[in-house]
Amino acid sequence: MLNRKVSFLYKVLSFTAVLVSFGSCREILEPPPVDLLVDDLVLRGPDDMDPVRIGLYNAVRSFGSATIFAGDFTPDYIQNNGTFTDYNELGTKQITAANTLASTLWGNIYSTIYIANFIDENIGKVSRVSQDEKDALVAQANFCRAYAYFIAAYSFGDVPKVTTTDVQTNRAIARAPQSEILALVREQYEAALEKLPERWDADNATLNKQFATKNAARAGLARYYLYQGEWANAEKMATDVINNKLQALDSSYVAVISTEFDAESIFEVAYGNTSSDDPGTSSTGLNNILVGRREVIPSNSYVAQLINVHAGTRTATISFSSANQQGRDNGWTVTKYGTPDQGNNNITIFRLAEMYLIRAEARAQQGKISGSSGALADVNVLRKRAKAPLASFTNQALALSTIETERLYELSFEGHRWYDLKRTGRLNAVMTAFSQNWNEKYKVWPIPVTEMQTNRNLKQNDGY
Amino acid sequence: MNRYFTLFLGVLSLLLFFSSGLMAQVRPIAGKVTLATDGSAVPGVTVVVKGSTAGTTTDANGNYTLNVPRGQQVIVYTFVGLEPQEITVGSGRSTVNVVMEESKTELSQVIVTGYSELQRRDVIGSIASVKNDRFKDLPITGFDQALQGQAAGVQVSQSSGTPGGGIAIRIRGNTSISASNRPLFIVDGTPVFDGSVTSRDFGGQNDNSLAVVNPNDIASIEVLKDASAKAIYGSRGANGVVIITTKRGRNNKTSVTADIQRGVVQLIGKPKLLNSTQLVELQRDAATAAGQNPDELGLIPGVTDLVNTDWVSEILRRGILQQYQLTASGGTEKTRFYFSGGVRDEEGVQLNNRFTRYTGALNLDHMVNHRLKFAANVNVSMTQNDRIKGDNFLDGVYSGAIKSLPYYSPYDEMGRLYVPNDPNYPDFPNFNPVGQALLPRFRTYGLKMIAGVSMDANLTKELVFRSKVSMDYNNGEEDQYEPSTTAIGGALPSAGGKGYGVYSTSTQYTLVNSNVFSYSKSIDDRHSLNALLGNEIIHTQARSSSVSGRMFPSNQFTYINSAGVVDQGGSFYAQSGLVSFFGEVKYDFKDKYLVGATLRTDGSSRFGQNRRFGYFPSVSAAWRLSEEAFLDKVKFLDDLKLRASYGFTGNERIGNFQYLGTWAAAVYNGNTGVGPNRLPNNNLQWERTNEINLGLDASMFENRLRLVAEVYRNLTDKLLYSEPIPLTTGYGSIQGNIGTVVNKGIEFSVSSDNLTGELKWSTDFNITRNLNNVKMLAKGDTLYRGYTASGVGATNAILAGQPLGTFWGLKFLGVDPATGNALYEDINGDGKISSEDGQVIGNAQPDFYGGLTNRISYKGFDLSILLHFMYGNKVLNLTKQSLLNAGEDIETNQEIAALRRWRKEGDVTDVPRYELGNTYNNYQSSRFVEDASFLRLKNVVVGYTLPARWVQRVWLQNARVFVTGTNLWTLKRYSGVDPEVSTLDGSTSAQGIDLYTLPQVKTIQGGITLSF
């Protein structure tokens, strides 16, 4: 009897043991993560260089559309036509600190800077990679940092200068003077210019335009000098880009609107031409906002200025459809940003035409109006390409006002207008005429409310 | 593992040592115990000689043999759930057959608790129990609905009127900010997945994986509320535990039951909106106020308003609900079974919305011998859900219909639907809601299987070992196609305008193995000891994949095989694990003093390296005052018990790998690299809740009046939160355990049998007051949640001193009679209204809630009425922010209230003036926060059981017909249709927001139940 009992018990217990061991403790408690890379392993060996570089440009791309919201939606190019409050605030000039487009711009600028800083801090630890390759990655980090701070300084004014990846430091950081940020921009562009290649590949236009090259750094510096009023430097940098002929003006303006990696593009942030790498229906996707939802449409005053003989073929920047013309919708649509199927979902950051306009303005400011090295010649290069009547200004004032309009024809919806009007001091004059709600405080965007709430060392811009 | 095994053996031998007995001068008595209702044998009945320790239990056939001392003796027969019997046996008698009756009093009903069962009267913890008869006639989809208004401390809110949709259950409030607040659901010992299986967004409303368990297969639902009851579930217990026990067969002749139910479903009400003429006039005013010419905007009275469509009526219908079920149960002495098959088909009130479910259940018990028993349970259900986009979706159906402009029409003069590219198609942002309902296919297939096998071995009379392996398998497949005639498939440029299809699958399964030793021993009829010791391993896996295609040749081709472009897809895999050990000891002395203690230790893959194991103890005690001599004189008192418990529980539902610092995939021009994803936190751990509960159970007047009162305080600290940090860090947040939330409350339930004669009338009432409060947050931060809100950043805030579900915004002070503008409180006095003037403007937590059930029966007739109420909660009516938008845009229809807008100087009103494009007057403010208190006639059931003499002529055992109505009447103050909605289904920090949410439905159905 006793024996039977014990053997029965034994059977039960061995059955249990089998059950218990069907999964070992360790396997159950420490499953390996999928789809994720633990941060210690991000930048260690040769295979890690390219993924991090892609991550860096991904971050720059992430504030591409917000730069256009700031540059073109804040001023007089658009009117509101939808239901998203964020765009309504931009369209009707009632911008608040709660506007999430401000935090999109701000956040992605700083995530770019974080990756650039991460590269600086970790590049020394990468093994089995040549110094040249390391220098090239650091130079791209310099370029992206410079561009990010440039947009930050001109969109928000004083902004924090983040120099480390340390969370504790960066979460309590205060704003640094705009001048200090701009000095950093110049230093970073110059460092980038030194180590970036002229081109990444002799034959592959895509690589040379989706990643920063020396010409991208020169273009960045040209724009920087223009904004700073350093006319001679601006002229020189623009000339360097124009003269080295690595880019050439597209023969037709249509290519600017509807082609990616076209001949004159210097640097553009790129989306794939599949819907898996496209902003799609994101609330900050340019095609979605301008074409799909029609949240904003070209303003009546903008349309009136652009639909003009002097714009030439550049009127194709917008198109009209009577089907859309209902209610407050004027029927006009911005065409510069397409769907993945249309193959023009990239956002151009620098292109050759801007270099001509920078040089024209720099020359005009230096009194160089006519002749082969005068402002007029540069403007007419673009007029010719647009099949428009040539310009014919003779004095500086006329030259500058012509260039301002020429920038509208050539560069509208590429993120320039607001910044241009600010640097020429024309912002209030133009905008007061455009909107009864305009307020001087809109010369800068508000610091996002979420930043104000989480970092007590930040001070809000005046008026917000 | 080995180490724990040795521990088991040690404890086992210790327990064996206890169980030796003694023998005396005796004679044998034998007999059989049967059940009064059906004559079936009752195994497991305890048979003891009164005043001695000599006792036995009946075997599988109900037979027993007991040696009793010589002379006249009293033998006591007891069994949980049955009335105890005492039989006096003379010295000559050797056979005693006993017929036992099911107990009438709740006190002796069996309650299933963690890993064991006990009688209601022995409960020390706080446990609410809802039996099948409370919900068997109701047209509910899932058992979670069955709990509404039925139990104190259990708050059940339906998120919308969508069939098969989400339901929020909160037991004693919200403990967590960001981890799940849903209780742990255990079906027949298996923890079941309770979230949404599918991943595609339908605007906020999720599918509900609990809706796939057929409530008619459920015997009882137990809700464990305090630490002593649920600490044995450790790191999963903080939100309460709901234990579902399905029906099992009994040892009797086979009985077959057929249930047939059929009814109609319709919306409880419709919003009151402007007609075309009223809207055109309003929009003209708005345009004029903005300095625009309304004629140029095409707003021309007599022209624009020629069409007047009532969009809401166009997309609604009266749905048909039908449900059929056949069950058979019975068994022999060795084998018992229960099986059932059912089908439920519910047409939603929105066109094309339908939920169909097929369920099957099979429960088997088999006794190998008196030592060994096997049991198996299988619950399978298959669903097909034709879903409808809603809520925060522009192209939703109900959401589209309430905001669509009435001067568009769904059909052209030929009766064809207007579709994209037609000249009269409304386009962004309104589309054609009727087309949005009828044209796309959003079909979700669900499969859920809960299956388990267990073995019970009676190692000795006192020691039982149970081992169980079970699984919960959930599969969801989404088969979706939006043709070129819909918003996404046709009007959206980025999709290409030629149809858009998605097919996705997701699987979520849990494998569980538990091994439990339980020991029970009573000595001298005075000391009673129960103990259990066990371990459990839980492994969960989630897998998913999806693919989408677009550019279809025509709308006849609806599967991705035919898509011209297939350029989006994905797959994912995740797993998590829990390894646990637990034990429980309960002791009572003469049924008068009861004490208990539990301990569980959980190791979870979700916790950081430094915090892998957590310990969750509890202690409890109860004192049955009614057994004390000093209360003997209080004759009306049958039972009075005071109880107290204290312990710790946790919440481990914090997501996987949250403790690791990681980089994830980042794409640039189609190339994949890596981008920063999350900051590390090695100290990440479970949320910990410290619970105190005091309770009083009383039963009086021959158990006709029963009271339960409880007070509790649950303090949850180490709150998991992704703390927002400035974006200057490169990240938006860091995971941490940073705050404290407290829930304090009082619960009171009373049940009374008012009349017990031929006319029976009983009343159940319960009421709960729960005070939820965020006690502390790291660094005194305010966390902003919910939707982004114009003017102030976010609709919700979490801050110390306020409950979870607090609404944030400007304080609306009224409309300035001089200007017609909204007046807001300038809280910081800086002379302007900015986001810094945001403040707390209400919260979604009720002051109290509860239910009142009255049941009356007379002869064959029965009537049951449930009133459900909630008081003091607020709703943030974001629908109103669009439908009373002060002219912010003219793409949305407006509600009737817009007619009392400010029009001229001196007007005193609560609706600001309309000016096209003005956002200021429509800022997120207390203008949109409304009292959502309600009293609802939740259920009414009228039934008639046909007299036995009639039905027996047609070979029936029992026949009953009934009519049920749900949500027939609601008393409310809310200006929207239904205050019981939540657009963010399952959200805690942003609960109680109405954003185009489909109101509840009312159902009227008839049913027949036949038993053979």
* ipTM computed for the complex: 0.92
Judge: A98–B459 Cβ closer than 8 Å, yes or no: no
Is the CA virtual torsion B791, B794, B800, B806 positive or negative? positive
Structure tokens at A222: 């040209």
Under the banding of pLDDT at 50, 70 and 90, the label for residue B535 is very high
Pair type for strands B241-246 and B739-756 = unpaired
Instruction: Please tell me the distance in Å from B942's CA to the nearest CA on chain A.
Output: 49
DSSP 3-state of A236:
helix
Instruction: Please tell me the distance in Å from A344's CA to the nearest CA on chain B.
Output: 11
Tell me if chain A has a CB within 8 Å of the CB of B368.
no
Taking only the tens place, the pLDDT of each residue in B403-457 is 999 999 999 999 999 998 888 888 778 889 999 999 999 999 999 999 999 999 9
Pick from B541, B538, B662: nearest CA to B604: B538
Tell me if chain A has a CB within 8 Å of the CB of B660.
yes
A260: Cβ–Cβ under 8 A, 6 or more apart, which residues? A268, A270, A273, A343, A344, A345, A346
Residue B1002 to residues B311, B318, B961, B966, Cα–Cα distance (Å)? 20, 10, 20, 5
Determine the pLDDT at residue B981.
86
Is the CA virtual torsion B522, B523, B529, B530 positive or negative? negative
Q: Does residue A460 form part of some domain? A: no
Structure tokens at A35: 């789809």
Exposed / middle / buried, residue A56 (Cβ in 10 Å: 0-12, 13-18, 19+): buried
Q: What is the mean pLDDT of chain A?
A: 92
Exposed / middle / buried, residue A372 (Cβ in 10 Å: 0-12, 13-18, 19+): exposed
Into how many domains does chain A fold? Answer: 1
| CA gap B141, A180 in Å, rounded | 64
Taking only the tens place, the pLDDT of each residue in B112-169 is 777 888 777 778 889 998 888 888 888 888 888 888 989 999 998 888 888 877 788 8
Counted residue by residue, chain A has a size of 464
Average pLDDT over residues B7-20: 42
A308-311's contacts with Cβ under 8 Å and 24+ in sequence apart are A308/A409, A309/A388, A309/A389, A310/A383, A310/A388, A310/A389, A310/A391, A310/A405, A310/A409, A311/A386, A311/A388, A311/A409
| CA gap B480, A407 in Å, rounded | 46
Under the banding of pLDDT at 50, 70 and 90, the label for residue B491 is confident
Judge: B728–A451 Cβ closer than 8 Å, yes or no: yes
| CA gap B516, B459 in Å, rounded | 12
| CA gap A15, A8 in Å, rounded | 11
Contact criterion met (CB below 8 Å) for B166 and B205:
yes
Average pLDDT over residues B940-957: 89
Judge: B673–A55 Cβ closer than 8 Å, yes or no: yes
pLDDT at A12 over 70: no
**Measured between CB atoms, which of A35, A206, A324 is closest to B664?**
A35
Contact criterion met (CB below 8 Å) for B983 and B993:
yes
Tell me if chain A has a CB within 8 Å of the CB of B13.
no
Could you say which residues from 918 to 957 on chain B have a Cβ atom under 8 Å away from some Cβ of chain A? 918-920
| CA gap A279, A68 in Å, rounded | 15
Determine the pLDDT at residue B373.
92
Contact criterion met (CB below 8 Å) for B461 and B183:
no
Under the banding of pLDDT at 50, 70 and 90, the label for residue B73 is confident
Judge: A110–B727 Cβ closer than 8 Å, yes or no: yes
Taking only the tens place, the pLDDT of each residue in B835-872 is 889 999 999 999 999 999 999 999 899 999 999 999 99
| CA gap A430, A459 in Å, rounded | 28
Under the banding of pLDDT at 50, 70 and 90, the label for residue B18 is very low
| CA gap A238, A351 in Å, rounded | 11
Q: How far is CA A203 from the centre of its chain?
A: 26
Which range (A107-116, B427-436, B553-562, B885-894) has the least confidence? B427-436
Number of C-beta neighbours around residue A424 at 10 A:
16
Q: Give the H/E segment covering residue A388.
A: none
Determine the pLDDT at residue A21.
46
Q: Does residue A463 form part of some domain? A: no
Q: How far is CA B864 from the centre of its chain?
A: 23
Determine the pLDDT at residue B772.
94
Judge: B548–A275 Cβ closer than 8 Å, yes or no: yes
Pick from A220, A32, A229, A52: nearest CA to A126: A52
Structure tokens at B845: 């937590």
Residue B175 to residues A302, B235, B542, B771, B803, Cα–Cα distance (Å)? 54, 13, 26, 11, 10
Q: Give the H/E segment covering residue B513.
A: strand B500-523
Nearest residue of B to residue A61, measured between CA atoms: B668
Average pLDDT over residues A400-413: 97
Under the banding of pLDDT at 50, 70 and 90, the label for residue A8 is low
| CA gap B834, A446 in Å, rounded | 11
| CA gap B866, B567 in Å, rounded | 53
Pick from B221, B512, B215, B509: nearest CA to B361: B215
Determine the pLDDT at residue A345.
94
Under the banding of pLDDT at 50, 70 and 90, the label for residue A23 is very low
| CA gap B385, A342 in Å, rounded | 36
DSSP-derived secondary structure letter, B917? T
Structure tokens at B842: 């209400």
Determine the pLDDT at residue A275.
84
Determine the pLDDT at residue B1.
42
Taking only the tens place, the pLDDT of each residue in A303-334 is 999 999 999 999 999 999 988 887 788 999 99
Structure tokens at A338: 């397409």
Indicate left, alpha or beta for B775 from its phi (over 0: left) and psi (-120 to 50: alpha): alpha
Determine the pLDDT at residue B9.
44
Instruction: For residue B264, list its beta bridge partners.
Output: B320, B1004
B395: Cβ–Cβ under 8 A, 6 or more apart, which residues? B389, B431, B436, B486, B487, B488
Determine the pLDDT at residue B38.
66
Domain that holds residue A405: 4-72+79-87+96-452
Under the banding of pLDDT at 50, 70 and 90, the label for residue B175 is confident
- Most A CBs within 10 Å, among B727, B830, B918, to test the A interface: B727
Judge: B577–A455 Cβ closer than 8 Å, yes or no: no
pLDDT at B106 over 70: no
Contact criterion met (CB below 8 Å) for A291 and A318:
no
DSSP 3-state of B865:
strand
Which range (A309-318, B97-106, B358-367) has the least confidence? B97-106
Instruction: For residue B322, list its beta bridge partners.
Output: B262, B345
Give B21 or B262, the one with higher predicted confidence: B262
Query: In B, which residues are within 8 Å of A26 by CB distance?
Result: none
| CA gap B36, B13 in Å, rounded | 40
**Measured between CB atoms, which of A96, A206, A339 is closest to B496?**
A339
Determine the pLDDT at residue B25.
65
Q: Does residue A440 form part of some domain? A: yes
| CA gap B151, B174 in Å, rounded | 17
Reported pTM = 0.85
Q: Does residue A314 form part of some domain? A: yes
Q: Spell out a b/e string for B21-57, using b for 16 or more CB atoms within 10 Å of the CB, else e.
A: eeeeeeeebebbbbbeeeebbbbebbbbbeeeebbeb
Structure tokens at A99: 């506007």
Count of pairs with CB atoms under 8 A, one residue in A, one in B:
301
Contact criterion met (CB below 8 Å) for B867 and B938:
yes
Q: What is the mean pLDDT of chain B?
A: 89
Determine the pLDDT at residue A26.
67
CATH of the domain at A158: 1.25.40.390
Contact criterion met (CB below 8 Å) for B328 and B256:
yes
Which range (A2-6, B310-314, B334-338, B572-576) has the least confidence? A2-6
Structure tokens at B868: 């459900």
Q: 3-state SS of B303-324?
A: CHHHCCCCHHHHHECCEEEEEE
**Measured between CB atoms, which of B660, B726, B891 is closest to A451?**
B726
DSSP-derived secondary structure letter, A317? G
Instruction: Please tell me the distance in Å from A108's CA to the nearest CA on chain B.
Output: 8
Terminal CA-CA length for chain A: 89
| CA gap A120, A52 in Å, rounded | 12
Instruction: Please tell me the distance in Å from B536's CA to the nearest CA on chain A.
Output: 8
Q: Does residue A276 form part of some domain? A: yes
Give B123 or A369, the one with higher predicted confidence: A369
Helix ranges (H only) for B140-252 are 143-146, 227-230
Nearest residue of B to residue A261, measured between CA atoms: B669
B373: Cβ–Cβ under 8 A, 6 or more apart, which residues? B365, B366, B367, B455, B456, B457
Q: Does residue A462 form part of some domain? A: no
Under the banding of pLDDT at 50, 70 and 90, the label for residue A270 is very high
Under the banding of pLDDT at 50, 70 and 90, the label for residue A22 is very low
Q: Does residue A168 form part of some domain? A: yes
Determine the pLDDT at residue B403.
92
Exposed / middle / buried, residue B523 (Cβ in 10 Å: 0-12, 13-18, 19+): exposed
pLDDT at B478 over 90: yes
> Tokens 């069409």, residue?
B307
Amino acid at A195: K
pLDDT at B1000 over 50: yes
**Longest Cα separation, chain A:** 120
Determine the pLDDT at residue B761.
95
Q: Does residue A458 form part of some domain? A: no
Determine the pLDDT at residue B674.
93
